[in-house]
């Protein structure tokens, strides 16, 4: 394989990676905890895009439980977004984990 072919393949891979990142920004994952009391939605770039809290869980005497549910929902949504990104990037890399890419 000559250097021109290698450069061409690298450019194609870089373009595909940018396409995947753009697509991931539009895809979302949802995590619900506490039997539906708190729902967090994150995009494929692991950004929190919405948080829904059921009115029943808002208890001024138990703010700590609400805080715990929010943390759990956000962490689970980010975990699912990371999994989505890993799945999409593995399509590009053929399943080979490249440090710094995933």
So what's the pLDDT on residue 80?
95
So what's the pLDDT on residue 55?
94
41 strand-pairing partners: 30, 50
pLDDT digit string, tens, across residues 38-72: 999 999 989 999 999 999 999 999 999 999 999 99
So what's the pLDDT on residue 4?
86
Chain-centroid distance, C-alpha 3: 35
pLDDT digit string, tens, across residues 23-46: 888 999 999 999 999 999 999 989
């Amino acid at each position: 394989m000559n250097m021109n072919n290698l450069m061409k393949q690298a450019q194609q891979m870089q373009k595909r990676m940018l396409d995947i990142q753009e697509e991931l920004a539009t895809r979302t994952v949802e995590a619900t905890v506490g039997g539906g009391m708190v729902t967090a939605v994150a995009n494929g770039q692991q950004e929190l895009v919405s948080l829904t809290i059921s009115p029943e869980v808002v208890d001024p005497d138990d703010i700590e439980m609400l805080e715990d549910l929010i943390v759990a929902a956000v962490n689970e949504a980010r975990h699912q977004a990371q999994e989505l990104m890993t799945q999409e990037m593995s399509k590009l890399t053929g399943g080979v984990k490249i440090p710094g890419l995933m």
